[in-house]
Structure 1
Amino acid sequence: MKRKIRSSKTVSLKIALIYIVISLIWIFLTDGLLDKFGLMNNVWINIGKGSLFVIANAFLLYRLILKNFKGIEDSEHQLHTLIDAMPDFVNFKDKHGRWIKANKFALELFDIKGVPFKGKKDSELANYTDFYREALLYCEESDKEVWIENKMIRCEEIIPQPDGEEKIFDTIKVPLFHSNGERKGLVVIGRDITDRKKVEKRLAENEQLYRSLFENNADAVCTLDLYGYVQSMNEAAERLIGFDKDEVIGKAFRDFVVKEDLNKVLSHFKQAIQAESLTTELRIIHKEGHYVTLSVKDVPIIINNKLEGIFVIARDITDLKKNEEVIRKSDKLSVVGELASAVAHEIRNPLTSLKGFLQLFQAESSENKRYFEIMLSEIDRINFIVSEFMVLSKPQAVSYQEKNINLLLMDVITLLKTIAIVKSIDISTEFETDLPHIKCEENQIKQVFINLLKNAIEAVPHGGKIDVKVKLLEDQILVSFCDNGCGIPKKLIKKLGEPFYTTKEKGTGLGLMVSYKIVEEHQGNIEIMSEENKGTVVEVTLPVGGEFNL
């Protein structure tokens, strides 16, 4: 538009200059000729000269103006062609809201193609179309807001379609004013953003779907950047690790991994950033300090064929691993039980014969008595091992009775006290009084306490100390054996109770296994805590009273 105004001014200036130059030339030339021939005072000649000048100038001006108007018409034609070719709604209105110009898109949009729209308001055009009537009336009301605001406004307008769909337009309305502030007209331009809005809606829905899946997932989920730093995490991950997300986001994932598993985690992370999906098991450190065993799957985050990060999906398998360990031990017990059932009786029969003949030879011979004693002792040891095997075979027919646990422990301590005295070991007791009775098989529970106390005596050095305590914990009784012996390495504690596993030079590994089995059959539990060079604590919990499924 500015270019057109500048062009019009240039043409006008050219016309004025040409007019001045031609006028001056005509005056000087004609006046000079008339003066030379003495015709200067002839009235009719002067009248003819002036008339000819007017006609010539009129013709020249006509040609110049015609050429200028043709240029303007060409420019307007180009402008109309451009506007009609635009994929946007374009409409020019006068100060009263009457349509002046509109492109094909606008006419087709409101189904008023072929309608004489010039000079008509939106409300008048609404009479030409039933379907778009409300839309046109709304446009007129919307125009009023522009004049009230007295400035350009931008808004989204929804135009319903005959097929039931809707078209959404990003509409700009620009008011035009004369130099004195009076209204001049209104320019309305609207771009169809229906497809863009649909895409934005789908993106928003996908974002909500992803967020819902992420936040409400039963598994712990977090995202890492390519350097292994936590970018986000869901509530399940917060519960799993014990930390709030604000305490974790921005920190390295490796900071929460157990040291022994760190190399494995780093190796898997390197593979994951090569766009490989991997699954592994690792242990993390809970906020409260204990370890949590996880099954972890690393999933690459790929956006536009570019790796942007890693999804870490984790599930707590701590209890599962414990159950697997219980099953593994139970399987071993089952194997040992089958072995015991198959060979125990076969071993005992020849042992009885051997022991009988040895005793007969011992009675008849006064020589080599020491050898006889050693052989009889070893036969008794074999017999003892077979007896422990028998406990692991088929369930024994036992009679559960209510017993005072303090009395059972005192019997065991009295039995083993002489062994402790030999090593100058002090056995102290701390029993709560008035404890409820436990329902148990007396000899089996005594066997458990003998095994545990005997282990403590063997582990404690000369002059050591053993504390035996009994106290009530709600509906259970806790018996603890605490010694200041050499302790047990942590990596070995989990193996205790397995068949034939022992830390003693002459042990069989059956005593503790039998103890585990007996306590389990009494619906109790044995827990061992130990620290090297400081000592060991063994806790036995047994239910008060109760019924047993025998």
Structure 2
Amino acid sequence: MEIEEIKRLDCLLKIYIDVNVDKDFSVLSKHTDPFFILSMTGQLVYVNEVCETLLGCTRFDLIQMSLSNIFISDCLNATQTFFFKKGREKLTNFDSKISMTHGPVMDVNVTTFPILFDEEVVGSYVVLKDITLFKKERQLLSEKQAVAGQLAAGIAHEIRNPITAIKGFLQLIMGEYKGESMYFNIVESEISRIEVILKELMVLAKPTKKKYEKLKIRLLLDQVMTLMESQVLLNNIQVEKRFNLNEETILGDENQLKQVFINYIKNAIEAMPDGGKLLVEGSIHGEDRVQVRIIDQGCGIPGDIIDRIHEPFYTTKEHGTGLGMPVSYQILEEHKGKINIISSTNGTCIEVKLPTMS
């Protein structure tokens, strides 16, 4: 960029800050959102008070710093900016790491979007969110899941052998017995239920070998909805599908992803014991993701339960195993997907985002 052009854009950016940010006309709050403004050359030209507190540095010291003074070098490109493979003229969101000289490394989520003035991009807002605590909590959860996995493997191994023997002898007795078979059928049904629990335990303890292949997300969702048709009808649930998808594809294990969506839909059905409406949406999210939303009209999930919903063996259901949600979460993690749960007394929305194939 030519020197004269840089000076011109810097001048326009200064005018923008004077007119908008200093007079509280900015799109961001100076008192709640930690943000700074970046010039087209990658220099900090404005820092709000909240950002000063977050970074532990005065505005005087931060102004005219470059990104390389704040973020670790691995997060920046050769020109020491964020905008490697990221367009400067659009909103971008990503995780990064801050390393100020006087403090520990801080995990942050970064949102950047352009500043338009006189129909030109003259700079960028950079909004920060400290996610260090969130990362620690996720690490702790992973450690708890690892311990639970070891426990699950031991339990499953000890139970599987006697269950196999019991099932075999039961079938022999059933073949010879000529009387009422109702009780035998109940016993056989309960043994099958134990086998299902053992299977979920083993997925948690040692995930089965995955078969990753190219999958059409719309076709996968249609197949899931077909599989769930009988349960929907039995529970007086009205289903609405809104699939704004065409040929978008993802890379994944078909059976495991079906298990995830079946689990979430079963939870939605169970949340509406008196019937209701179930909305399943599929849409493109950004440039490289698809989003699936499963929305029910149940009574919702209390906040303290949402915080623990992915913990192994934690359940509020009378006959629940407490494994469905953590297993689904683990499968999504392995597929580089994300889940977000929004709930109120009017119902629950489960959002799943999965990366698409280019």
Tell me the TM-score range normalised by the shorter chain: 0.5 to 0.7
1:342 — aligned with what?
154
* TM-fit CA distance, 1:391: 0.9
Contact map agreement 2:232 2:269 (CA 8 A) in 1: yes
Residues 400 and 323 (structure 1 numbering): CA distance in 2 closer, same or farther, change over 3 Å?
same
More helix by share: 1
Match status 1:545 vs 2:357: yes
Residue 413 of structure 1 aligns with an amino acid whose one-letter code is: M
Among 504, 508, 511, which residue is 2:317 paired with? Answer: 504
Residue 166 of structure 2 aligns with an amino acid whose one-letter code is: L
1:321 — aligned with what?
133
Output the CA distance in 2 between the equivalents of 1:488 and 1:389.
Answer: 24
Give the TM-score normalised by structure 1: 0.42
* TM-fit CA distance, 1:462: 2.4
Residues 417 and 324 (structure 1 numbering): CA distance in 2 closer, same or farther, change over 3 Å?
same
Q: Look up the SS of the partner of 1:366 in the other structure.
A: coil
* TM-fit CA distance, 1:331: 1.2
Output the CA distance in 2 between the equivalents of 1:543 and 1:317.
Answer: 23
* TM-fit CA distance, 1:318: 5.0
* Unaligned segments of structure 1, at least 5 residues: 1-219, 221-234, 243-315
Residue 333 of structure 2 aligns with an amino acid whose one-letter code is: E
* RCO higher in structure (CA 8 A, sep ≥6): 2
Among 423, 445, 466, which residue is 2:278 paired with? Answer: 466
Match status 1:359 vs 2:171: yes
Output the CA distance in 1 between the equivalents of 2:178 and 2:246.
Answer: 56
Residue 186 of structure 2 aligns with an amino acid whose one-letter code is: I
2:308 — aligned with what?
495
Q: Look up the SS of the partner of 2:232 in the other structure.
A: helix
2:267 — aligned with what?
455
Question: Equivalent residues in 2 for 1:217-228 (5 A)?
Answer: none
When Rg is computed on C-alpha atoms for both structures, the one with the higher figure is 1
Contact map agreement 1:528 1:538 (CA 8 A) in 2: yes
Give the TM-score normalised by structure 2: 0.63
1:429 — aligned with what?
241
Among 333, 351, 356, which residue is 1:520 paired with? Answer: 333
Output the CA distance in 1 between the equivalents of 2:349 and 2:130.
Answer: 23
2:143 — aligned with what?
331
Output the CA distance in 2 between the equivalents of 1:317 and 1:342.
Answer: 41
Output the CA distance in 2 between the equivalents of 1:333 and 1:527.
Answer: 19
Contact map agreement 1:430 1:468 (CA 8 A) in 2: yes
* TM-superposition CA deviations, 1:30-79 (whole Å, max 9, x none): xxxxxxxxxxxxxxxxxxxxxxxxxxxxxxxxxxxxxxxxxxxxxxxxxx
Q: Look up the SS of the partner of 2:240 in the other structure.
A: strand
Question: Equivalent residues in 2 for 1:10-25 (5 A)?
Answer: none
Output the CA distance in 2 between the equivalents of 1:340 and 1:490.
Answer: 27
* TM-superposition CA deviations, 1:462-506 (whole Å, max 9, x none): 230100000011200100000001111112111101011112221
Contact map agreement 2:152 2:204 (CA 8 A) in 1: yes
Question: Equivalent residues in 2 for 1:396-435 (5 A)?
Answer: 396-435=208-247
Output the CA distance in 2 between the equivalents of 1:468 and 1:346.
Answer: 40
Percent identity between the two aligned chains: 45
Contact map agreement 1:435 1:472 (CA 8 A) in 2: no
Among 299, 305, 316, which residue is 1:486 paired with? Answer: 299
Question: Equivalent residues in 2 for 1:150-165 (5 A)?
Answer: none
CA RMSD of aligned residues (A): 2.3
Question: Equivalent residues in 2 for 1:14-413 (5 A)?
Answer: 237-239=49-51, 318-413=130-225
Q: Look up the SS of the partner of 1:456 in the other structure.
A: helix
Output the CA distance in 1 between the equivalents of 2:309 and 2:333.
Answer: 15
Output the CA distance in 1 between the equivalents of 2:130 and 2:193.
Answer: 40
Output the CA distance in 2 between the equivalents of 1:452 and 1:528.
Answer: 11
